A and B are shown apart, each in its own frame.
Chain A
Amino acid sequence: MAGERILIAKVGLDGHDRGIKVVARILRDAGYEVIYTGLFQTPETVAAAAIDEDVDAIGLSMLSGAHMTLAPLVVDEVRKRGADIPVVLGGIVPDHDLDELHRAGIAAVLTPGATAEQIVSEIAGVLAESPAG
């Protein structure tokens, strides 16, 4: 796993960045190379950065309720560019949205209360299943 690269991103207008920064440090401590896009990204800028940086996975953080619109768009933009990088979503995501998110190609969803251990094992699982990995 050492050296695997993960792009973490804030898409849209949501400025809540506590969670994403904590997750970034957790992943870094677990041995991943972590790249953070900063705030206010679009699905296009995230997909482009993921490909430029040749990452193995993308992590999105969304706490504003826009995940049903924006998270699938990130998957679409990645695929449009001919890549198959797995996209993991973290944030305030109601259970009733999970099926639709999985159908839209989101590889995993992490919700409030996920422990460091769960985050790392979820990411490791996603990377193991990834065709790119």
Chain B
Amino acid sequence: MATPSNREPSNRELWEAAFSDAPVRDDDFSTMSGIPLDAVYGDDDGEFPGVYPYTRGPYASMYRSKLWTMRMFAGFGTAEDTNWRFKEIIRAGGTGLSTAFDMPTLLGIDSDHPMALGEVGRCGVAIDTLADMEDLYRGIDLGEITTSMTINSPAAVIFAMFVAQAEKAGTPRQRLGGTLQNDILKEYQAQKEFVFPPRPSMRLVRDTISFAAAEMPRWHAVSISGYHIREAGSTAVEELAFTLANGFAYVELALRAGLDVDAFAPRLSFFFNAHIDFFEEIAKYRAARRIWARWMRERYGASSPRSMQLRFHCQTAGVSLTAQQPEVNIVRTAIEALAGVLGGAQSLHTNSMDEALALPTEKAARIALRTQQVLAHETNVAHVADPLGGSHFVESLTDEIERQAEELFEKIDAMGDGSMLEGVIRGIEENWFQRRIADSAFELERKLNDGRRTTIGVNRFTEGNDDDPIELLRITGEDEARQRKRLDQVRHDRDQRAVDAALGRLRSDAADPEVNLMPALIDAVRTYASLGEIMATLEAEFGRHVEVPTI
């Protein structure tokens, strides 16, 4: 770029240089009445997207290069059922897959475990062995479409199954693109689907990060998730601060394992909630990007811009949906999705209107996807990057959220005596996060009950609550029986000696905290050892986490 040598380039010049290198979509970037639109607006020395500290977006061109990925979360029944739903999503124009697993899978037990009763295939797909994983992605080109998997405690095992099935189907691991949620810290804080205690769980996270850094250049090993923290009741500031604190903890974990920060940080990604308070959400995403960039550069010594550029997936708020007048949920979801888009999300899931009542029907899921398509293709909101940047209100709210988040970081850092990793683990062990989240949830409930907050159909405008109910998805107990039969068959057909040998090796690898467990896990899943068998083997070494119940 030609600039006089005696001065630093302005932020606009830095942005122009980055923008001119970026591909641009074939679209008419003007308003309905034909007014041409710039890719971004702002003062020459103000903040710009794609320019440190990336408050206005990680990339200079944002949606001018590529619209967000419309990644619809799906999974129910058996792997075959979900495979069918995936193919529907692809046909309907979805551009990424996102896999929901059922509760037994999330907790690492098999479908025939007594605790699995009534839960098999309910909230997501049931995966017991590699055979189910083969059914799940059959006929889908995993080198082309990206896949995200929402799994945490048993993430390393499911990841091993994913790699093994893809390679068996002919796609080498280097070509696989996607995301493993694998964010165990927020499980203890909010989602509560934990198995092992925090420290051995963090070892598994370390192993997946190291493995992906070495062998899978297109893979995101951890998606640091505020979504569940928010759904569990936190405020927007707590969602932001706890999520980024967890992110810093994973960074410190990988640094401790000897990885170079720029070797893994570019593939950390985030997952935030899009709740109903429109401007606060947008300010939250902007503050998140600025904080992450600064901490990565200043505290963790990152030098690659990609290590500093926070990228995030976004999902509309499940808790904002009501069972009353469920069609109104389409409106809530549209507004929340718009906040995600104006906030610069890289991918988005929109909830279906019936999710306060049941798992979504196909029709409800399609309307949710159509909501994103209206935003993307009818409204022109994606033409200009960070369109609210420069608004006195949004800028001030961004600064205030950042300030409040920094106060929480100070507390966590002090809890860990100068280590965010130790501070987060201590905060979990002392129920600090859990208590704060429960307090915030109760406070919000109180405001609703006092009438200081309004939810349509709940505490105001309830006429119509007794209208005819909408049609809901019915899941029968047949899936559970089918899945158990399938597992029996796989156990019968496999070579039991190979299973025993692989589990034996896994146990001895697990006993040495320095060993990376991914190779032993991949070997084990290839023998069709089940998820429950593998998790039990690890539990024998790692022990089990028990939460002290608090109200």
Q: Answer yes or no: are A and B bound together in one complex.
A: yes
A interface residues with partner B (beta carbon < 8 Å): 12-18, 21-22, 24-26, 28, 34, 36-40, 42, 64-70, 92, 94-96, 111-113, 115-117
Say yes or no for B375: interface residue by CB 8 A criterion.
Answer: no
Interface centre among B106, B107, B187, B445 (most CB of A within 10 A): B445
Residues of B within 8 A of A15 (CB): 187, 191-194
What are 14 A-B contacts defined by CB distance under 8 Å?
Answer: A12-B117, A15-B187, A18-B319, A21-B442, A25-B551, A34-B551, A39-B192, A65-B475, A66-B118, A69-B118, A70-B117, A92-B357, A92-B358, A113-B322
Q: Mark B14-28, 1 if CB is under 8 A from A, else 0.
A: 000000000000000
Given that A13-B116, A96-B474 are contacting pairs, would A39 and B458 also be in contact in the complex, using a CB cutoff of 8 Å?
no
Q: Contact at B115–A18, with CB atoms within 8 Å?
A: no
- Cα A111 to Cα B357 in complex, Å, equals 8
Residues of B within 8 A of A113 (CB): 322-324, 356, 455, 457-458
- Cα A64 to Cα B115 in complex, Å, equals 13
Q: Contact at B118–A68, with CB atoms within 8 Å?
A: yes
Write the nearest CB–CB distance from A19 to chain B, whole angstroms.
9
Q: Contact at A65–B122, with CB atoms within 8 Å?
A: yes
Q: Contact at B233–A18, with CB atoms within 8 Å?
A: yes
Q: Contact at B119–A115, with CB atoms within 8 Å?
A: no
List the B residue with the shortest CB-CB distance to A38. B549
Say yes or no for B414: interface residue by CB 8 A criterion.
Answer: no
Residues of A within 8 A of B458 (CB): 113, 115
Q: Contact at B192–A13, with CB atoms within 8 Å?
A: no
Additional A-B contact list (6), CB under 8 Å, known A14-B103, A36-B549, A66-B117: A17-B192, A18-B319, A42-B115, A69-B119, A95-B472, A117-B449
Q: Mark B95-118, 1 if CB is under 8 A from A, else 0.
A: 000000001101101000011111
Write the nearest CB–CB distance from B427 to chain A, whole angstroms.
17
- The number of chain B residues touching the other chain, given as a range, is 35 or more
Residues of A within 8 A of B232 (CB): 16-18
- Cα A27 to Cα B193 in complex, Å, equals 26
Say yes or no for B408: interface residue by CB 8 A criterion.
Answer: no
Q: Contact at B104–A13, with CB atoms within 8 Å?
A: yes
Say yes or no for B438: interface residue by CB 8 A criterion.
Answer: yes
- Cα A64 to Cα B355 in complex, Å, equals 11
- Cα A68 to Cα B231 in complex, Å, equals 24
Say yes or no for B454: interface residue by CB 8 A criterion.
Answer: no
Interface centre among A21, A64, A94 (most CB of B within 10 A): A21
Q: Contact at B117–A69, with CB atoms within 8 Å?
A: yes
Say yes or no for B519: interface residue by CB 8 A criterion.
Answer: no
Write the nearest CB–CB distance from B285 to chain A, whole angstroms.
23
Residues of B within 8 A of A39 (CB): 192, 547, 549
Given that A113-B322, A113-B324 are contacting pairs, would A26 and B356 also be in contact in the complex, using a CB cutoff of 8 Å?
no
Q: Contact at B231–A18, with CB atoms within 8 Å?
A: yes
Given that A18-B231, A65-B122 are contacting pairs, would A94 and B472 also be in contact in the complex, using a CB cutoff of 8 Å?
yes
- Cα A90 to Cα B112 in complex, Å, equals 26
Q: Contact at A21–B551, with CB atoms within 8 Å?
A: yes
Q: Contact at B118–A28, with CB atoms within 8 Å?
A: no
Task: Name the one of B472, B474, B551 contacting A28, with C-beta atoms under 8 angstroms.
Answer: B551
Residues of B within 8 A of A12 (CB): 103, 115, 117-119
Task: Name the one of A66, A92, A94, A116 contacting B445, with C-beta atoms under 8 angstroms.
Answer: A116
Q: Mark B340-357, 1 if CB is under 8 A from A, else 0.
A: 000000000000000011
Given that A13-B104, A68-B118, A94-B358 are contacting pairs, would A115 and B123 also be in contact in the complex, using a CB cutoff of 8 Å?
no
Write the nearest CB–CB distance from B131 to chain A, whole angstroms.
22
